Chain A
Amino acid sequence: MEHLNYKHTARARATGEKKQALVGVVASGNLEVLVERVLPGNECEIDIRTAAEGFGEVWKEVVADFVGRRSPGGLKFSINDGGARPDTVALRLAQAARALEGDGT
């Protein structure tokens, strides 16, 4: 089990009012993402516990691209990863951010 933590400043604060959301499942090749609107301003934190060790460089890029594309300011993401491929991680992060926006976007 490897622990990774990334802090970013997003371009803008995430829209919507929902306080938290959970997407995905903890399973082999999959992951669970808990997202909470708990950080001040445009801060964004992604905290990862992964079963697959040694992929820090790829995680760093996936997370940086996600923050760049989605502007998740004010959000903290806690990830439980069962060794998901980067494409699955990117999809789950996008889903988590979108789930927090709620309906009507």
Chain B
Amino acid sequence: MSDWDKGRRARAARIAAGARFAQGKRVDARDATALLEAVIQPGDRVCLEGDNQKQADLLAAALIAADPAVLHDLHMVQSGVVLPEHLDVFERGIARRLDYAYSGPQSQRIAKLLFGGRIELGAVHTYLELFARYFIDLTPQVALIAAVSADRNGNLYTGPNTEDTPTVVEATAFKDGVVIAQVGEIVDELPRVDIPGDQVHFVIDAGRPFFVEPLFTRDPGAITETQILTAMLALKGIYAPYGVRRLNHGIGFNTAAIELLLPTYGERLGLKGKVASHWALNPHPTLIPAIESGWVEQIHCFGSEVGMDAYIRARSDIYFTGADGSLRSNRAFCQTAGLYACDMFIGSTLQIDLAGHSSTVTTGRIAGFGGAPNMGSDARGRRHPSEPWIKAGAEADPGEKAALRRGRKLVVQIGETFGEKNTPMFVEKLDALELAEKLKLDLAPIMVYGDDVTHIVTEEGIANLLLCRDADEREQAIRGVAGYTDVGRARDKAFVQRLRERGVIRRPEDLGIDPLDADRRLLAARSVKDLVHWSGGLYAPPSKFRNW
């Protein structure tokens, strides 16, 4: 009769197997590996929590210590491949298949393992896409998560770095999976409850906080004058004319420069209150001067940032905070906000081809996507109008009746024509294509597709791809801002000049930008120490950013 609850009975069996190592829900850290061997079964889909910020690092170490004769053929379904342990599980033969979104620091090693056939790759996703699949065809049987603290009933406090946890737990706990949490401490009363205890089956006291990477801290001291020039171009040539109030920024130095120009150059342009007021953004320290100058109304965050907790706590009008006063971040909701409620994404990339496709995959490095493809794409399901969205839509399709015309999200790629080690940002053929050929992938790992990109900004100018009417115009518009890269030098000069006359390409001089303003003195903060001053001493930068 009751053959409709196999999953529930399987979970009960897993919990019973794990209970041998537990007192209530609590398991000693020394028994972590034994617990995992008891609860996880070969072939399971396992989510080992970790993204570009927080990491369930104790559980990662416990998993690689497992006996491959007991635990093998696991299918890892997780946001980030970030810790060495995330790849050690494949080298040790514990895991076989991988579906993920981001692999920043492991980008070289993951490429090696993929080429060597040690990892069977499902797909590289955007965060929101992977989260979606947790509820459809990649539901974890076991989730290994990280929290700040737990109480005796297994209620969890995830603090400012809530990030992916509610999504992972939702998909696992409500579909007969087992949730195992590592926590920094066990307390009598939590500051707030982020995850209810009935969704958590085992709790391990790590006796220390989980690892968090300060990925969103950009030292103003490293911003170059060329980057300042690109920032000025973006502000005057895109933010101002479209009136972009709702937006997301990438993590590169060009967008950090924009953040630091708001209170100076932006103020001079009269843009305060007219642009950059509502954000889907991590707590970027470089946004502090703009916040303190009254530019920002509110910010929803994917995650937190090391050193920003006290500042956020003291600025609850700006950030989303819990009853305890600290930040409540949520990656799935913030990604959704970035997709549907932001009018612009602007970020850097490593390679752009002649169709405008961009990718962060370069020879030997597979960095994954994180959230960029989601932020950097037009939401086809969007239905609410806004000024920038309507204006961009009209530029792309002037012939259509206004009431029937889709708007367009502004998707802006910004960077210098030459990146680190003088590698050109513009290429005839993306390394991502070669990778796809070598690994026989159905899809090349493209971060932002060319038909989603609306503008490319370099020090040479802005290419407005919305105004291009065919592939030739598009190609020459891209070559026309590609500077002295091979792609840029192979431009058709007369064609590019015609595009400039039509406003498809706009040079700094076309926008009345004074090259003498491209000076570090234009930055509202020129060092991390300046950011600390702007914050009234509330921002506490991690030690690697302190040089005083």
Contacts and interface: CB of A to CB of B under 8 A. Distances in A.
Q: Is chain B a partner of chain A in the same complex? A: yes
A62 interface: yes
Nearest to B514: A98
Contact of A61 (B226, B458, B484): B484
A91 B225 contact: yes
Contacts of A86: 417-418, 483-484
Contacts of B418: 85-87
A60 to B, nearest CB: 10
A96 to B, nearest CB: 9
A95 B515 contact: yes
Given A95-B515, A98-B514, A87 B483 contact: yes
A85 B488 CA distance: 14
A30 B226 CA distance: 11
Interface in B456-495: 458-460, 483-484, 489
Nearest to B483: A87
Contact of B416 (A62, A85, A98, A99): A85
B33 to A, nearest CB: 49
A94 B461 CA distance: 14
A4 interface: no
B125 interface: no
Contacts of A61: 484, 489
Given A58-B484, A61-B484, A87 B460 contact: yes
Contacts, number: 45
A91 B226 contact: yes
Interface string B413-435: 00011100010000000000000
Contacts of A88: 224-226
Nearest to A93: B515
B509 interface: yes
A95 B518 contact: yes
Contacts of B225: 88, 91
Contacts of B489: 61
Interface in A42-97: 58, 61-62, 69, 85-88, 90-91, 94-95
A69 B461 CA distance: 13
Contacts of B229: 91
Contacts of B483: 86-87, 90
A86 B418 CA distance: 8
Nearest to B508: A94
B70 to A, nearest CB: 54
B25 interface: no
Nearest to A89: B484
A88 B518 CA distance: 11
Contacts of B406: none
A76 to B, nearest CB: 19
A98 B516 contact: yes
Nearest to A55: B484
B265 to A, nearest CB: 16
Contacts of B409: none
Contacts of B508: 94
B459 A91 contact: yes
A16 to B, nearest CB: 13
Contacts of A85: 226, 416, 418, 422
A86 B226 CA distance: 11
A75 to B, nearest CB: 15
B495 to A, nearest CB: 16
A28 to B, nearest CB: 12
A87 B459 contact: yes
B506 to A, nearest CB: 13
A62 B229 CA distance: 17
B328 interface: no
B484 A62 contact: yes
A91 B417 contact: no
Nearest to B225: A91
B270 to A, nearest CB: 20
A85 B422 CA distance: 7
Given A69-B509, A88-B226, A95 B516 contact: yes
B313 interface: no
Contacts of A87: 226, 416-418, 458-460, 483-484
B201 interface: no
B424 to A, nearest CB: 10
Contacts of B509: 69
A91 B515 contact: yes
Contacts of B518: 91, 95
B404 to A, nearest CB: 42
Contacts of A69: 507, 509
A88 B483 CA distance: 11
B180 to A, nearest CB: 49
11 contacts: A61-B484, A85-B416, A85-B418, A86-B417, A86-B484, A87-B226, A87-B458, A88-B224, A91-B515, A91-B518, A98-B516
Interface of B: 224-226, 229, 416-418, 422, 458-460, 483-484, 489, 507-509, 514-516, 518
Given A87-B484, A91-B518, 9 more contacts: A62-B484, A85-B416, A86-B418, A88-B224, A90-B483, A91-B225, A91-B226, A98-B515, A99-B516
| 9 nearest CB pairs, A to B | A86-B484, A94-B515, A87-B459, A95-B515, A85-B418, A87-B226, A98-B516, A98-B515, A87-B416
